[in-house]
Chain A
Amino acid sequence: MKPESRLKKVLAAGQFAVTAECGPPKGADPEAIRRKGNLLKGFVDSANVTDNQTGVVRLSSLASCVILREEGLDPVLQMVTRDRNRIALQSDVLGASVLGIRNILCLSGDHQSFGNQPEAKGVFDIDSTQFIRLVRQMRDEGTILGGDKLTLPPELFIGAVENPFADPRSYRARRLEKKVKAGAEFIQTQCIYNLPYFKEWMEQVRDLGVHDRVSILGGVTPLKSVKMAEYMAKNVAGMDIPEEVIDRLKGVPSGEQKKEGLKICIETIQQLREIKGIRGVHIMAIEWEEAVAQIVEGARLLPRPFVQ
C-alpha cells in the first residue's frame, strides 16, 4: 500500500485536523516510542517526532518515525538544521521519503548550548526557511541545491513552525508569509495561552491572505501545575502565559491542577475552532502523551474522520 500523508488528506477534505507530539527516548529503545505511538493512535491524524529537542541527544526522529509507521500512524518528521549540513539534510529527506514518511516539519532548532552537548558545533548551514524551499524544490522540481537532478523526487507534505508570541511582534505575520512563499504547506504554531493576542495575530495573517495558502494548526500544551506554568513563562523563550491563566491554576487545590490544566487546554481548542483560518490543532503534551486522548475526547474531536 502506497504511503500517503493522512494529514494532507484530512486538511484537503476540509476537516479540522489533529496532530500531536511524541518525544523519543534517550536510548536505543524502540518500545518506548511504540508505546507512545499507541497512546496517540486513533486520537490524532498524524504524530510529530521531535528532533533532539533542546539539543538533548535522543533516538533520532527518523528512526522513531519509521517505528510509528510500523504501528500504523502517519508520522511527521521534525528535522532541524542545527545538526546537519545541506548534504546530510538532502540525503535524509530522500531517506525519509523512501522509508514511507510523508510529512516533514522544517525547523532551525534550539541552540546546542541548551542541551547536554553544549560543546557541539552547531551546523546551521541553512536556516529553516531555506530548508522549506529546498524540500519543495526537491519534491516539485526534482533537483537539489546547485541544480543536479534527482533520479526520483521525494514525496513529502511540507510544514513549518511559527511563534506568534515571539518578538518583534510586528513582523511575525510577515515572517509566516515568507515561509509560505518558500513553500510551507502546513504550519504548527507555538503553544497558545494568550488567545486574545493570538486572534489579533490571525487577523494580521488573514489580512495578508496567508490563511488561504497554508493550513495553520494552533499549538496547545496542557499545563500540569502552577509550577510548570511559572517555569515556562519565565524560562522558555517565546512563551506567553497570561496571569489570568496562571491564576486559574492557583485557584484550585494542587491535586486538581492537572485537571484544570486539561480543562484550559480543551477550552483553548474549542476557541481555536472558532477562528477563521485555523484548520486544526497541534497538541504538544511532552512526557504526558497519555493526556492527548483525554484532550481530543474532551474537545469533541472524536472520532477522527475517515479519509480515502
Chain B
Amino acid sequence: MITAERKPLPEIKESITPYKKVLIVGCGTCVAECASGGEKEVALLASALRMDAKKEGRDVEVHEITLDRQCVYEFIDQLADLVDQYEVVLSLGCGAGVQAVAEVFPKIHVIPALNTTFIAQTKEAGVWIENCRGCGDCRLDQFADVCPITRCAKSLFNGPCGGSKGGYCEVDPETPCAWHLIVTRLEESGRLQKLTPLYPPADWSKKEGKGPRKIVREDQRH
C-alpha cells in the first residue's frame, strides 16, 4: 500500500488556524491500513484539534468523514452535499487523494494533514517497510523477488557492495542487505548462475517519465 504519516500537530494546527469550521476527510484504503488516515485516525485528530481549540478558548467546529477511497471521483462525490458548509477540508488522504479532492472542489481550501511516504508491505502490526519504487519496469524474478532498486541503498543491480556485513546494510545496520538476501535465496535454491551475466544499466526513463507518468486504457474508458 501507499504509506503516509500524520504531520506534526503544530503544523496541522497552524494550517487551520484561520478557520472556524473544519471537515476532516479520511480514506479507508492505504492510509487506513498504515494507521495514519483512516476513520480512527480522523477521530483522534478531530478530538485533539477540538481539545486544543477549547484549551485556547477558540471556537472551532471539527467534523469527521471517511471515504472508501479518496482518489476516486465516485467516492469524492459523496462530499458534494457536505463540503459547502465548511471553510476548509483537512485531508487525511495520501497526496493523490488530497489533489483529487481539490480538483473536484476547487473553491474549498484543501489542506494535507499527512506526509505521503512510500509503497510498502506490512511487515508486522505497526511496521511498514518500503519495497517498491514504481520503476515501471519490474524485473523482480531476476533478483529472487527482492527489489534491488528499493531495498538496496545504492540501487545496485550487480551487488552486493563492499559494505554488506552479517546480512545488513552499512547505511543502516537495521536494514537487511538486499543483495545478501538475493544471493542467499539463489544459492539455497541452486539458481546462483542467474547472477552470472552482467545486469545492464536500467532504463530509468520508465520511472522518471516526462513529468507525471500516465496510463491510458481505452478498453476501460467510457
Contacts and interface: CB of A to CB of B under 8 A. Distances in A.
Given A111-B153, A122-B154, A171 B165 contact: no
Identify the interface centre among A86, A111, A167, A178: most chain B CB within 10 Å of its CB.
A167
Nearest to B180: A168
B162 A130 contact: no
Contacts of B192: 171, 174
A126 B198 CA distance: 12
B187 A170 contact: yes
A256 to B, nearest CB: 31
B163 interface: yes
A82 interface: yes
**Chain B interface category by residue count:** 20 to 34
Interface in A146-173: 161-163, 166-168, 170-171
Interface string B171-183: 1000001001001
- Of A161, A168, A170, the most chain B CB neighbours within 10 A belong to A168
Interface in B199-213: 199-202, 204
Q: How large is the interface on A (under 10, 10 to 19, 20 to 34, 35 or more residues)?
A: 35 or more
A129 interface: yes
B196 interface: yes
B162 A178 contact: no
B201 A108 contact: no
Contacts of A109: 154
Contact of A167 (B153, B167, B202): B167
B150 to A, nearest CB: 12
Contacts of B160: 166-168, 171, 175
Interface in A100-123: 108-111, 113-114, 122
A125 interface: yes
Contacts of B177: 167
Contacts of B121: none
Interface in A133-153: 133-134, 145
B57 to A, nearest CB: 40
Q: Which of B158, B198, B202 has the most CB of A within 10 A?
A: B158
Interface of B: 153-167, 170-171, 177, 180, 183-184, 187, 192, 195-196, 198-202, 204
